[in-house]
Amino acid sequence: MKAKKVTWGECLKFTSKTRPGWQGAGRYSALLYAGKFTDLHTHQFDVTKITHRLILEDCGELKADGGNGKPMRHASLNRYVSAVSAVLNHSQQNGLIPSEYVIPRFQKFNINKDAQERYAYTAEELQAMYLHALNDLSNLALAEIVLFAALTGIRQDKILTLRPERVDLDQKLITVTKPKNQNVAAQTCGIHDSLVPMLVRRCNENRTFLFGDDWSGPNALRRRFYKLLQHIDKPYPDAGWTFHGLRHTCGTLLYQSGVHIFDIAKQLGHSSTKVTERYMHSNDKQLASKINAIDFGIA
């Protein structure tokens, strides 16, 4: 008797409902990238026909046009690959896909090849964005997530999935689980005093996610953030001025405040201070005034 075909739609539906990592704030991104496979192949596609070559060809197509006529970058291609792998692995582990089907190891892409530079914002620009969101846009959630990102240096995806129980207000520490640095199981960040009242209120509001409950997903946050970039006259999108730049702002402001590079690396979760050294160049524009502070005693 011929085995019943297992469709991509069945596996995707099951995974979206039962895979822990696809619940809450992380659900939007996971379904977005898994949905790319549906767009390319339909819900009825036989999952046992998914091969390394098929996904490689998908990535070639998405790299040319990932939607709306825009090419998909390597980081997004890797998210697509990971989403397809997650659906296949989760479905097989739970008996939907035959055990004899060998799930391929799909190719990953070097994100450094097409990574764009992300610029840091000045303290004045940060203040202008915060006040514009708060007073002109009447968007407290936007104002607070911008300030939190700039004063902690935590990545956007981790902010949106941060739970209240990860905030220790007594020790003024935040624990970020599964950080990008795979050498550690968790990353610890210090809390700036100005964030304490906000965090006390949010932790007492019976939230599932400290900030993620305010947003339907990264795109909703990105659209609101663009309004702040307009306000401070920064070009957007894809011109280096991004929400991720708030993380760079944190590193730059810490360095300018005299914080040791090892402590900056610890706050930002860098695996090596070589990554952190980019912030040592943040004061280059002030070098002339600094060198002139030296008194050589020459008339």
**Is 2 inside a domain boundary?**
no
The overall average pLDDT reported for the chain is 85
* Predicted confidence (pLDDT) per residue in 184-197, tens digit: 677 888 999 999 99
State which of 113, 131, 152 marks the end of a domain: 113
Q: What is the DSSP string of 255-297?
A: HHTT--HHHHHHHHT-SSHHHHGGGGGTTGGGHHHHHTTS---
Rounded average pLDDT over 196-212: 95
List the CATH number of the domain containing 151.
Answer: 1.10.443.10
State which of 113, 136, 160 marks the end of a domain: 113
**pLDDT band at 219; cut points 50, 70, 90:** confident
Q: How many domains does the chain have?
A: 2
Rounded average pLDDT over 256-276: 81
Q: Give the list of residues 6+ apart from residue 245 with CB closer than 8 angstroms, or none.
A: 118, 119, 120, 121
pLDDT at 1 over 50: no
Q: Give yes or no: residues 135 and 280 share one domain.
A: yes
Q: Give yes or no: residues 98 and 164 share one domain.
A: no
Of the ranges 70-79, 83-92, 117-126, the best mean pLDDT one? 83-92
Q: Give yes or no: residues 184 and 221 share one domain.
A: yes
What residue spans of 204-260 are helical by DSSP H? 218-231, 245-256
**Is 44 inside a domain boundary?**
yes
Q: Give yes or no: residues 93 and 141 share one domain.
A: no
State which of 113, 141, 160 marks the end of a domain: 113
Q: Give yes or no: residues 143 and 38 share one domain.
A: no
Q: Give yes or no: residues 109 and 160 share one domain.
A: no
**Is 210 inside a domain boundary?**
yes
List the CATH number of the domain containing 26.
Answer: 1.10.150
* Portion of the chain with pLDDT greater than 90, in percent: 54
Q: Give the list of residues 6+ apart from residue 88 with CB closer than 8 angstroms, or none.
A: 11, 47, 50, 97, 103
Q: Give yes or no: residues 176 and 255 share one domain.
A: yes
Q: Give yes or no: residues 182 and 107 share one domain.
A: no
**Is 141 inside a domain boundary?**
yes
Q: Give yes or no: residues 155 and 104 share one domain.
A: no
**Structural domain span for residue 60:** 8-113
Q: Give yes or no: residues 97 and 128 share one domain.
A: no
pLDDT at 268 over 90: no
pLDDT at 4 over 90: no
